[in-house]
Structure 1
Amino acid sequence: MVREEDGFWACEYDGLLGRLPQLIASSRLTFCGMGSCIDARIEMEDAAALLASEIPADARSFIDMLVDRAHRGVGGEIRVEWPEGPAWLTDNLPFGSSLGGTGPHAAWVLTAVGAPALVALQDRSADMVRHIPSDILVVERGQTVPVGAIKPRGEPRPKIFIFEYTAGMQLGGASPPRSSRIIVRFTDPDLENDQDFASLTATMAEQAGAGLISGFSGVARERLNGEIERVGALSRTWRSRGLGTVYLELGGFDSIDSCLATLHGLKGAYDTLGMSHSEFVALSGDGDLATSMVRLAGELELQRLIVHADHWAAAATLGDGTREREALMTGSLLASARAEAGKPVRPTALPSAAVFHQGPFDTPKRIGDWTLLSCATPYLDTPATTLGLGDSFTGGCLLILGQCPASSASAEASG
């Protein structure tokens, strides 16, 4: 399981840490959309403890479902039909709150390491603004400004509930096999419709490095086609005006139908698709990973398909293998640093508790025009948090994929 050449990956990441300052210094602006929210964070241990008391049947059924998923090591995102759920959970469980959404989290990670990021933000309520790091950029009156400089306004959206659990935690007499979190939506929050962001990014596309689109899993099916059309039109404008990379991060859909409608409806609006391994298996089946990745990437006419798991990250790409591997490693490094610190940070060393496991394509593999490659992640068995780790990985990939090719080559040579 653990590679004999554990020191090989430690050495590789040490080299990346040496290149990281130059990569950050040469980074270009990243557009980060399209969904923002506030997360109510709850420890699964606190929720499971309520099973020992007298609670309503619908609450017991809900918590039983969460504990069962944790026992099976299943995280992900789900939609739950329980209208009274948010109020009951708020009244009966301790929780903290934090920024949510793939776009804002990727922007947070990029900004934390010193790279510029511009986030789509329709919700500018006081509750939202106070949760966003003040140096993340937004568009205000046709200009990019730090979010700390804007005046809050409007009403907040409903919160998303996050239930976190850790490997070894006792939940109803059993322990989860892995650390993760379950994201629960009681409503469909829809996407940010920030017209100022759309207008300005259309004019800035040639100077920016990359764009991120995400959040479609939180759109109700009857509104999904309209959101695909709206966001797809913007991202196609980005591409036509010179933006080199548009990255779609998939997210946990309630149905394969909605997932496929999104992937195919946005076809041509993105060149890069990212998803967790569990999301990939749900979409493509549990067959041969290499063949399945190439098949899906070709079907969607992608430049690259990225799959991230606990212990590894992999890509099927038509691009330069050295650069693509750098993207996977940078994403993995920033996610691991966040797992250790409990928040986005600029890493200066590998986490002391990191271990490395073998990936599926440690030796690059060719299938036709496609190169398949992978890296081991600096894995932490008991992280300080699992929240936002996939989004942190995405942010790290965008840091590299948004580089001018000359900048990437220069950084690799200096390492």
Structure 2
Amino acid sequence: MTARERYERLVEDRAALVARSGPIVAGFSATTDALHRVTDTALERLVTAEHVGSAIFDAGLATLQSWLREGRDGELFIDDESAEPLLELLVGAPEKVQCGGTSIQACWSWSELGLSPLLALTNRSERQLRATAGGVRLMSAGEPVPVPQVEAVPGPMVPSNHVLELTLGTSGGGVTVTRSSRITVVLARKRLHLEDDFIARSPELVGGGVGLVSGLNGLGQAREEAVPVVAELASRWQEAGARLVHLELAEYARPAELARVMELMRGQVDSVGMNASELERLVGSGEPAAVAADFAEAHRLLRVVVHADRWAMSVHRLDPAREELALAAGSLAAANRAAHGEPQGIWAIPREARFAVEIPPSVSPRHGYRASVVATPYLDTPRSTIGLGDTFVSGDLLVQAGSEDFN
């Protein structure tokens, strides 16, 4: 079967996958994202600006400028919650404000497919609720209810994460963008959404489905208290009959930070996901399947999933056909978001999608793991790059949440 034929079949099977899905619970990262499509003029301002605001903001801006010159993307933290107006002076007002963070982004995708995932969300501000998909359920008065039925709670405004979309060919200030990507500027210190009612009730609501854990990066010393709470809850999900508990990584400052998080999680997740850059930077360089297998063995995992621009891989001890289906579902979900700029309830192969010929081989690398790999429907100039990894996770876990008799 060719790559295109695989995805044509998956387009037809989407409804069956959704119908077979078990329950989904997700935490603990959620915020709002302010989206900016960086123009030539805005890029010129960003690269050449000096002495815009506080010393903290100016230092962060200098780092942002170096990232732009190097062609680096990722998440940049500037510890200045009052800096939203300063940043908008350079890049302009956001095109829109939407949900941000892996767990809430994945829930948005599941909601578009017609599912009703349960999300941990402590911030009930009007801004946050307005940015949360209506099909998502939150705990309210001890019961899971759809977002539209949840009343907003007044409180201090939490700054959005500002997502700078960089499109191939954009040029300004002596910098030309050579790959469509994004830099996310974070202005507020991260806190996990450790919601009491969610912690109490989610184990009884996850049986036969999947649990998604995210947001364990960038916590600083707060991780020492917060991550064990997550580990205990993940263990309860497993005991309650979750088919899979998955941890999705993100921007860790250094390998030691990830190592400490994995130590605190104490093996209470079955699956870990990351992008190819995170694999190389945080886990190790070398042949991807072998590096992922070493990581899986070290942390007693059933699977490690790596998603790249042109391929997706699962190194696992599970059914290869199911893993390939999960990888393809994640890749197709992400490609549809790339083509439209937001998650789609109906999947199609984007017209401009291309499939790589050279991808890592499907092999049995070591430690009894095997590698399943698929080519992705890759777009050279996506409408948006934000949330693609999170949307990949939603498709991957959609298959993992499904009944075992699907083929």
* Greater shift in the superposed pair: 54-63 or 101-110: 54-63
Equivalent residue number for residue 385 of structure 1:
384
Equivalent residue number for residue 157 of structure 1:
158
Distance in structure 2 (CA, Å) of the matches to 1:271 and 1:377: 24
Q: How does 1:275-286 map to 2 (within 5 A)?
A: 275-286=274-285
Deviation readout 1:127-183 (Å, 9 max, x if unpaired): 111111212111212222110111111324232221110111113233222111112
Distance in structure 2 (CA, Å) of the matches to 1:382 and 1:40: 21
Equivalent residue number for residue 39 of structure 1:
33
Equivalent residue number for residue 190 of structure 2:
189
Letter in 1 for 2:282: L
Distance in structure 2 (CA, Å) of the matches to 1:60 and 1:199: 43
Distance in structure 2 (CA, Å) of the matches to 1:66 and 1:358: 35
Of the three residues 8, 12, 27, the one matched with 2:2 is 8
Equivalent residue number for residue 75 of structure 1:
73
Change (3 A) 1:145 1:84: closer
TM-score, length-normalised on structure 2? Answer: 0.92
- Whether the 8 Å CA contact 2:274–2:307 is kept in 1: the answer is yes
- Whether the 8 Å CA contact 1:111–1:135 is kept in 2: the answer is yes
Letter in 2 for 1:32: A
Letter in 2 for 1:380: L
Equivalent residue number for residue 312 of structure 2:
313
- Whether the 8 Å CA contact 1:28–1:116 is kept in 2: the answer is no
Change (3 A) 1:375 1:394: same
Q: Does 1:25 align with 2:22?
A: no
Distance in structure 1 (CA, Å) of the matches to 2:6 and 2:229: 41
- Whether the 8 Å CA contact 2:210–2:400 is kept in 1: the answer is yes
TM-score, length-normalised on structure 1? Answer: 0.91
- Whether the 8 Å CA contact 1:268–1:301 is kept in 2: the answer is yes
Deviation readout 1:5-54 (Å, 9 max, x if unpaired): xx921111001111111111111121111011011222333542324567
- Whether the 8 Å CA contact 1:236–1:269 is kept in 2: the answer is yes
* Greater shift in the superposed pair: 40-49 or 194-203: 40-49
Of the three residues 40, 64, 67, the one matched with 1:66 is 64
Q: How does 1:232-311 map to 2 (within 5 A)?
A: 232-311=231-310
Structure 1 runs not aligned, ≥5 long? 1-6
- Whether the 8 Å CA contact 2:206–2:237 is kept in 1: the answer is yes
* Greater shift in the superposed pair: 310-319 or 170-179: 170-179
Deviation readout 1:322-356 (Å, 9 max, x if unpaired): 00011111000000000101111123420000011
- Whether the 8 Å CA contact 2:359–2:375 is kept in 1: the answer is no
- Whether the 8 Å CA contact 1:78–1:253 is kept in 2: the answer is no
* Greater shift in the superposed pair: 338-347 or 100-109: 338-347
Distance in structure 1 (CA, Å) of the matches to 2:346 and 2:73: 26
What is the SS of the residue equivalent to 1:128? helix
Of the three residues 53, 56, 65, the one matched with 2:52 is 56
Equivalent residue number for residue 217 of structure 2:
217
Equivalent residue number for residue 203 of structure 2:
202
What is the SS of the residue equivalent to 1:253? coil
What is the SS of the residue equivalent to 2:175? coil
- Whether the 8 Å CA contact 2:354–2:379 is kept in 1: the answer is yes
Deviation readout 1:94-140 (Å, 9 max, x if unpaired): 22321111000000001111223111111111111111121211121
- Whether the 8 Å CA contact 1:99–1:132 is kept in 2: the answer is yes
Equivalent residue number for residue 176 of structure 2:
175
Change (3 A) 1:141 1:81: closer
Shift of 1:71: 4.7
Letter in 2 for 1:28: G
CA RMSD of aligned residues (A): 2.1
- Whether the 8 Å CA contact 2:60–2:77 is kept in 1: the answer is no
Calculate percent identity across the aligned residue pairs: 28
What is the SS of the residue equivalent to 2:176? coil
What is the SS of the residue equivalent to 2:36? strand
Deviation readout 1:348-396 (Å, 9 max, x if unpaired): 4200000111454344445342111211111111111111000000011
Deviation readout 1:244-288 (Å, 9 max, x if unpaired): 111100110123322211122113210000011111111122222
Letter in 2 for 1:56: V
Equivalent residue number for residue 94 of structure 1:
93
Distance in structure 2 (CA, Å) of the matches to 1:109 and 1:359: 29
Letter in 2 for 1:86: E
Equivalent residue number for residue 137 of structure 1:
137
What is the SS of the residue equivalent to 2:16? helix
Shift of 1:229: 0.9
Distance in structure 2 (CA, Å) of the matches to 1:188 and 1:372: 37
Change (3 A) 1:257 1:362: closer
Give the number of equivalent residue pairs: 400
- Whether the 8 Å CA contact 1:35–1:103 is kept in 2: the answer is yes
What is the SS of the residue equivalent to 1:56? coil
* Greater shift in the superposed pair: 175-184 or 58-67: 58-67
- Whether the 8 Å CA contact 1:78–1:252 is kept in 2: the answer is no
- Whether the 8 Å CA contact 2:332–2:347 is kept in 1: the answer is no
